[in-house]
Amino acid sequence: MTGRDSVSVPAPAARPQNVRSPGPPTAPDPIDQAILAELAADGRRPNNAIAEKVGIAPSTCLARIRALRESGVIRGVHADVDPAAVGRPLQAMIAVRVQAGSRDHLVDFADRIRTRPEVRSVFFLAGADDFLVHVAVADAGALRDFVVEQLSGHGEVALTETNLIFEHLRGAGLPD
């Protein structure tokens, strides 16, 4: 979000009554859900535009956004960068199964792999596979090198299965 009505503006001294106080994340109410939907559509949308769309005062909207951040409901705002535009047009999802004797190293594996420049996301799974790793690379050779050197080349990895991504469509909504 940008502009003078952004989240970085100090909060008013008195918190309006219809604003949640910071605390553990709870299920967002309908107003918070509407705010979250607006932010999910465009994280840079000015506060006053969100307030107008949702039908609340800008000061109330700003306080609610701040409370959503402080409570952990809003974890961050990120740029959605097109991998092809930065020289990484080939994307894949790689299922990774860790050796049974390496289960106590799952966190270490995830921490190591998520710092790789090829990695867009790491998902820790229940089921047969332990992780799903979303990567974006320059070409098939770079994908092969990543799988062989960063995954299969490590003793804790028992199995990998690579699936190429033909197209990635971002979801449009939030759960009710």
Evaluate whether 124 touches 133 at the Cβ level (below 8 Å). Answer: no
Residues of the chain with CATH 1.10.10.10: 19-79
The third-level CATH classification (topology) of the domain covering 19-79 is Arc Repressor Mutant, subunit A (1.10.10)
What pLDDT digit, counting tens, does each position of 146-164 carry?
999 999 998 899 999 999 9
pLDDT at 8: 36
pTM, entire model: 0.71
What pLDDT digit, counting tens, does each position of 101-149 carry?
887 888 899 999 999 999 999 999 999 999 999 999 999 999 999 999 9
Residue 48's pLDDT band (cuts 50, 70, 90):
very high
CATH number listed for the domain at residues 83-165:
3.30.70.920
Residue 40's pLDDT band (cuts 50, 70, 90):
confident
Cα–Cα distance for residue pair 156/158, rounded to 1 Å = 6
Evaluate whether 6 touches 47 at the Cβ level (below 8 Å). Answer: yes
pLDDT at 105: 82
Residues of the chain with CATH 3.30.70.920: 83-165
